[in-house]
Amino acid sequence: MQYSLTEARRKLPQLIKSAERGELVTICRRGVPIVEVVRTTRSARKKPKFGTMRGKIKVIDPDWWKPMTDKEVKAFLNGRY
């Protein structure tokens, strides 16, 4: 299928769906083909592997979630923490 550049701008979601179905979509400028939209062979994104960060994360302060004392807040706000 061939589409002009302006027509392709308006119908981009439809053209992408056509390419997903395996159809070759050609976008032309003044009748000259400039781009072909095709489906990729596979996803470029890899699935995450759980457990790959095990042993690489250090917990410096195990009580990080506890509220700060007034003394710690004052030192933090003064830039001396």
Q: What is the pLDDT of residues 20-32, one digit of tens each?
A: 888 999 999 999 9
pTM to 2 decimal places:
0.48
Tell me how far apart the alpha carbons of residues 79 and 81 are, in angstroms, rounded to a whole number.
6
For residues 36 and 60, the model is more confident at: 36
Instruction: Tell me the average pLDDT across 39-61.
Output: 80
Instruction: Tell me the average pLDDT across 45-50.
Output: 80
